[in-house]
Structure 1
Amino acid sequence: MTACAIEGGSAGAAATAEPEAESGTEPDPKGSGAEPGPEEYGAEPEPEGSGDPGKPVGADVPGLPGSTADEDGPEASSTAGGPAAPADDGPLPGGFTLTADGAYAARLTAAPGPPGERAWYPERWTLDGPEPYAVPLPLGQPEEPDTQVAPLADGRVLILRQVADRQMFSLLYPTGPGTGELLLGAVACAGMTLLPPSPDGRCVYALSAGEHSSSLWLVAGGAFGPEEVARIPGHCSGGAWLDRAGRMLALDRRAPGGGPVKAVAVDLGRGAEVTPLLQIAPGSDDRLLLADADSGLLLIRSDAPGHDRLGWGVLGSCLPVRFPECLRLADVAVTPFAVQPGQMLMPESCAVALRIDGAAGSWVGVWRPAGRRLHQFAAPLGWAPGAGYWSRDGVLRLPYANRATSCGVALLDAPQDVEPSSVTGRPGDAEGGTQPSAAISAPAACKPVPLGQAPLHRAARSD
């Protein structure tokens, strides 16, 4: 397992299964005491490594998360939920957002300065060329730390500013030595949240959530500025795309008057029709965290097993949601942020990147549903936690910035737990005889049905 760095300038509910008791589960992240090579940001721990639970891999190595870097060397300067910090390690504003294809990214950053006196400005990263590079997009006055940004596939950056009780939208783009700005309009409301950029690369949606109803707005890519496209009863949050066309959007919704949170699908091609997506148990909170349009793999968080667990299912499958034991770590939070694309009809073979947050910092996990094992890696210095994207051939790209590198991408090859068959797409018995899960060894005659009709238990066969 190696990692290197590039440096440069309709739907419905899923059923539940008993949590998987999986072989080959790795222990909680622990400091192994072995120092990785200079480029191996993602050096894996030895299975017998000793240390404190919840401590990131390599935490005792200078310059890695949870340690103190040399004064003049590269320094880990990220905190949960934000972009890489400026050189003087001050408080961080919003997050680091990528386009669906990983070609562009945008963040809010600032020049070094005393805390409280920094001049925040947007920055666009270009990631699809031979070397990554960043383009600053400052205007005549600095931005507020709560300003939100999102990149588009044409290289422009959408910016959302809150001015009193109005939400102001503009498109920013580099023009000669300066920054161009195209005003899109404003919406009168107390607050809005930008959703992940649409897979089509040209549209961005925003969510204004109220206690009794939530409004979905098309704020970039429309013909007449910000446009309300749906008003959904209940309080909505989250946001994940279910297809490549940018038509099916999943939101987590709490019905008016209270009750559990359930993921719903919003069909933007049919007048924003809302249908159920997850219904694991009547009283459980079932949230959709991530979806892959190629394979149909869904990453889910639910308390149906008795407490919050990370699980997976397949869109349109008749099999229940699984809750792998290897994703249940003590004293840390595990959140998926990227799924390997291009794995058509092979959801169990998709590599999934996970952000792991503990008391010592943030680091990276890689897991496959068929592999039944969580691999943990130290993150590059200055990684923007939760930011990254996969290539089709299984290379995870992690953007980072630190004192030594203003714009860089660390590359991490996905571990090969199993070798999928080129004929059936089912995993073999690699890695010491690892057995396929129950979700993989389903009867061939099992007919896929919408998730909303998925049975809680498979009916017993009578021969």
Structure 2
Amino acid sequence: MTACAIEPTAEEGGAVSRAGLTIAANGAYAARLAGDGEALYPERWTLDGPEPYAVPLPAAQPEDPHAQVLPLVDGRVLIGRRADGRCVFSLLYPTGPRTGELPLGAVESGSVRLLPPSPDGAYAYALAAGAHSTGVWLVAGGAGGGPEHIAEIDGHCTGGSWLDRTGRMLALDRRQAGGGPVKAVAVDLERGGEVTPLLQIAEGSDDRVLLADPDSGLLLIRSDAPSPGHHRLGWGVLGSTLPVRFPECLRLPDAAVTPFAIQPGQTLTPETCAVALRIDAASGSWVGLWRPAERRLHQLAAPRGWLAGSGLWSREGELRLPYVTRGVPCGLARIVAAAPEEHVPHASTPSAQPEGAGGEPSGHAVTPGVCKPVPLQQAPLTGRTAPG
């Protein structure tokens, strides 16, 4: 349905603020911090009915702007609040005119960040930064009810993309404690947080996974391997023998291009997956639609009030973009992507008409050099065996 892309900052390669709306794994619910100024409160959206609607979940006092929310598939909303060098977690749910709250416990760290919703939607995980390592915590859904420490990863980890439908394999972007480039690694949560290289295009390149689709194996990555000092958006397929490619059509002058959702259900056909991208420039933000097989980027005007960087695909190829305006406090704009063999996508709402499309050729592929890096085709999801 959707996946939350986490775009690194230029300073550290860490994550910027999460999208304005986080969507549950099954697409039925979403959550965000709503309100104005200092009067912030969690808000749950219901998306699987005839029309979307929002339910406010205010606590006894306004929320801190740094509070994090994440919806579960059962309709409850996880909230993480900063307090005295730790992050305190609770589950929120509507109960009559009030908000019910179930305290879960805390993670002792001054820097805790929720990961995107797990594929099953019943569990929630977070990263906790330490001085020389990063902790992976199960903060909701565990047998004990409270936060459970799952793994400790050497180095500073950011990003976060699920590589399978079971919630076992997690891709993280890691910088070693001693410094050096950022490299994507795969973390096996069922093997005590075992870490294996996932993406190492060149010895000194920064190689990050931005978004992953467990159905097709399609990965959207960002790397400076093609042009040292300049990060490029590229794609590859988990387990493939083909190298990562960096299409020229995804390079826009004076604009940042970030993927935020991949069409699900395209098993064995990653090249035909529709990908939604957020395009940011000085003039504002809009939407890009792209498929690896097409080698061109279609640009669309975003609906007014779009919660930029959030959205979900249906299996049939309909992109749903959440938006908020004064007249519509909870809305979904729908864009129907063209079939792979067609050339111009169309929109089902007047707010999402095509602005234009480019037909640039695909960029060059990047293959490993003599430094013997681990290429994408050697990712650990193929040929794994159970621990002995």
TM class, shorter-length: 0.7 to 0.9
Is the aligned partner of 1:384 residue 2:307? yes
Please say if residues 41 and 62 of structure 2, whose CA atoms lie closer than 8 Å, have aligned partners that are also in contact.
yes
1:302 corresponding residue in structure 2: 223
Is the aligned partner of 1:408 residue 2:331? yes
1:56 corresponding residue in structure 2: none
What pairs up with 1:451-462 in 2 under 5 angstroms?
A: 451=376, 453=378
2:269 corresponding residue in structure 1: 346
Is the aligned partner of 1:180 residue 2:103? no
2:254 corresponding residue in structure 1: 331
What pairs up with 1:243-282 in 2 under 5 angstroms?
A: 243-282=164-203
Instruction: Give the Å deviation of 1:272.
Output: 1.4
Per-residue CA deviations over 1:129-178 (Å, capped at 9, x if unaligned) read 11100000011111111110000000000000001112100000001111
Instruction: Give the Å deviation of 1:410.
Output: 0.3
What letter is aligned with 1:144? Answer: D
Instruction: Give the Å deviation of 1:256.
Output: 1.9
Cα distance in 2 for partners of 1:392, 1:353 equals 13
Please say if residues 315 and 450 of structure 1, whose CA atoms lie closer than 8 Å, have aligned partners that are also in contact.
no
Instruction: Give the Å deviation of 1:188.
Output: 1.7
Please say if residues 295 and 343 of structure 1, whose CA atoms lie closer than 8 Å, have aligned partners that are also in contact.
yes
- Classify the secondary structure of the residue corresponding to 2:79: strand
1:99 corresponding residue in structure 2: 24
2:9 corresponding residue in structure 1: none
1:217 corresponding residue in structure 2: 137
- Classify the secondary structure of the residue corresponding to 1:277: strand
What pairs up with 1:25-64 in 2 under 5 angstroms?
A: none
Cα distance in 2 for partners of 1:285, 1:361 equals 27
What letter is aligned with 2:149? Answer: E
Instruction: Give the Å deviation of 1:257.
Output: 0.3
Please say if residues 370 and 418 of structure 1, whose CA atoms lie closer than 8 Å, have aligned partners that are also in contact.
no
2:115 corresponding residue in structure 1: 195
| 1:199–1:183 CA distance, 2 compared to 1 (3 A) | same
- Matching residue within 72, 87, 93 for 1:152: 72
What letter is aligned with 1:102? Answer: G
Cα distance in 1 for partners of 2:178, 2:73 equals 39
Cα distance in 1 for partners of 2:186, 2:173 equals 9
Is the aligned partner of 1:108 residue 2:29? no
Please say if residues 370 and 436 of structure 1, whose CA atoms lie closer than 8 Å, have aligned partners that are also in contact.
no
Cα distance in 2 for partners of 1:202, 1:389 equals 19
- Classify the secondary structure of the residue corresponding to 1:326: helix
Instruction: Give the Å deviation of 1:101.
Output: 2.1
Q: Of Structure 1 and Structure 2, which has the larger fraction of its residues in strand?
A: 2
1:237 corresponding residue in structure 2: 158
- Classify the secondary structure of the residue corresponding to 1:161: strand
Per-residue CA deviations over 1:50-79 (Å, capped at 9, x if unaligned) read xxxxxxxxxxxxxxxxxxxxxxxxxxxxxx
Please say if residues 276 and 452 of structure 1, whose CA atoms lie closer than 8 Å, have aligned partners that are also in contact.
no
What letter is aligned with 2:324? Answer: A
Is the aligned partner of 1:167 residue 2:92? no
Please say if residues 261 and 312 of structure 2, whose CA atoms lie closer than 8 Å, have aligned partners that are also in contact.
yes
What pairs up with 1:422-441 in 2 under 5 angstroms?
A: none
| 1:263–1:194 CA distance, 2 compared to 1 (3 A) | same
Return the index of the structure with the highest Cα Rg: 1
Is the aligned partner of 1:313 residue 2:233? no
Please say if residues 216 and 229 of structure 1, whose CA atoms lie closer than 8 Å, have aligned partners that are also in contact.
yes
What letter is aligned with 2:319? Answer: L
- The TM-score with structure 2 as length reference comes to 0.83
Please say if residues 109 and 130 of structure 2, whose CA atoms lie closer than 8 Å, have aligned partners that are also in contact.
no
- Classify the secondary structure of the residue corresponding to 2:104: strand
- The TM-score with structure 1 as length reference comes to 0.70
- Classify the secondary structure of the residue corresponding to 1:269: helix
- Classify the secondary structure of the residue corresponding to 1:372: coil
Cα distance in 1 for partners of 2:363, 2:111 equals 44
Cα distance in 1 for partners of 2:298, 2:339 equals 10
Is the aligned partner of 1:131 residue 2:56? no
Cα distance in 2 for partners of 1:217, 1:327 equals 35
Per-residue CA deviations over 1:396-453 (Å, capped at 9, x if unaligned) read 000011101000000001133526xxxxxxxxxxx9x9999999xxxxxxxxx98354
What letter is aligned with 1:349? Answer: T
Please say if residues 238 and 377 of structure 2, whose CA atoms lie closer than 8 Å, have aligned partners that are also in contact.
no
Please say if residues 81 and 385 of structure 1, whose CA atoms lie closer than 8 Å, have aligned partners that are also in contact.
no
2:291 corresponding residue in structure 1: 368
| 1:416–1:434 CA distance, 2 compared to 1 (3 A) | farther
Is the aligned partner of 1:357 residue 2:280? yes
1:399 corresponding residue in structure 2: 322
| 1:235–1:384 CA distance, 2 compared to 1 (3 A) | same
Instruction: Give the Å deviation of 1:229.
Output: 0.4
| 1:292–1:280 CA distance, 2 compared to 1 (3 A) | same
1:17 corresponding residue in structure 2: none
What is the alpha-carbon root mean square deviation over aligned residues?
2.3
